[in-house]
Structures are given as C-alpha cells and as structure tokens.
Structure 1
C-alpha cells in the first residue's frame, strides 16, 4: 500500500506535566494523519458517500518529543479489509529517524446517508495500493 506522510510540531498546548507530548495528542495526530490520507487519496464519490470512525487503537510508546520538536507521521493501510473494518498503521519518527510511537488502528466505514456500517470493498482501497 502507498504510504502517506505528515509532519507535526509539538506546540505548548501539546505538552503535559512531564514536559513532553501528551498521549492524548498522539491519538489526535494518529487520527489527523489517517484522515488526511483518506482525504488526499480517496475517490471523490467515496468521500461523498462514506466516513470512518475508529473502533480500536493499539499504541506502542517508545519515546517522545519536547516542545518545538517535530515528528513525521507515516501511515498506510495494512492487509485486506474485514467486513466494515480496515486496519491502518501509523509510525511517528523523530528528527533522527527513530520510530518513537507506533500504532495499529482499526477503522469502521459508515455510509454518510444512513450512518450504518458498510462493507469495505476492495475497489474502495484501490487508490491506496
């Protein structure tokens, strides 16, 4: 699958009492990079018809960054869809290229009109291959 990258910089509001990026911010950045990937690659008709919601996050924290430092989030779709769900991987690399946060997130696809789960057809993910 094609990979998508986005850079994030730790601003003062991202920093917790330990002096580095709060775990809740990492979750937001996971969602931001995955959503940006969908928005940039999906076919217009699919953008109009469907949206995604997270059903599971599995995150490994191996490091962190301080205020003013940047990370590059890299995301891709992992494996074939299962019913209405698809797994997306996200790795965040620090300035040295080391993976400091790694996530596997399960997303469920919903129909915009009905709000119901929809099976993820292979053709829907073709633009990401």
Structure 2
C-alpha cells in the first residue's frame, strides 16, 4: 500500500475534563493528554477493526510527538479527532491526533507511532493491508466499511 493511495477517514471522540485531570496550574495535566491520545486511538481501533483482528493483535505506543496549543479547564469539553495517513512502515503506523475546543480552536496536536503485536506471542508483526484497511475509507468499487 503506497502512501497517499487512500483518503483519510477521521474518528472523533468527545472528552470532558474532570477535576482529577487538572494540575496545580489549573488546567489539564500533560500526562492526562497522553491518556486521552491513547483513549481515542484505542476507541478508533475498537470501532473499525474486525473482531478477529481485535482478538489476534494489540497496538502499543512507541513514540509520541505532542504540541500543546492551549489549556483546558475542569468542565470544558474537547473533541478529539484521529486519523491515519500514508502506509504503515513495517510493524509501525503513524497516527495523527488533534483536540479542539467547542469554538474550533486547536488545543493539542500530536503524531504518535504505534506498533502492532501478535497478542499471543507478544512479537512485532508487519502491518498487513487487511489490518490497515479499516482505518481508511473504501476505495472506489469496494464495499462500504464503517470507518
């Protein structure tokens, strides 16, 4: 699968900051943002992957690159969106994540790298096209897929 060969299919998730998410500066703690990044990525996989893939594979984070653009306070809701662009690189896949305020301002942007593991052996696996396909919209002529 070549980079740019498929379009981008976005997945969204709303999250409201709770009192426990707030640090001594009065806004969402950086470690909480990392938890939210993982939560939206996991929810995307759960929403689009076939049951047999969920049983056979597990994703683990190998890298986060995060740009904090604004603060969020307790009670504030952000909409996270995530998508995968381009082709996997062996066992690794880059995922883009963005969190937006109600007025559309970007609060955080990130690129995270995830690696695919065989759930039974714990070994790295090359991301095959059938595993990657649910993250992309269907190509012309392919059947509809929830993505």
TM-score higher than 0.5: yes
Per the TM alignment, residue 26 of structure 1 is displaced from its structure 2 partner at its CA by 0.2
Q: What's the RMSD between the two structures over aligned residues?
A: 0.7
TM-score, scaled relative to structure 2: 0.86
Shift of 1:108: 0.3
Q: Structure 1: give runs of 5+ residues left out of the alignment.
A: none
User: Higher strand share goes to which structure?
Assistant: 1
Radius of gyration: which is bigger? Answer: 2
Show the 5 A alignment for 1:1-129.
Answer: 1-129=8-136
Q: CA deviation at 1:35?
A: 0.2
For the residues of structure 2 that align with 1:78 and 1:22, how far apart are their CA atoms? 28
Report Cα offsets for 1:14-39 as digits up to 9, x if no partner.
Answer: 00000000000000000000000000
In 1: Cα distance, 2:71 partner to 2:102 partner? 11
Q: Work out the number of aligned pairs and report it.
A: 129
TM-score, reference length from structure 1: 0.98
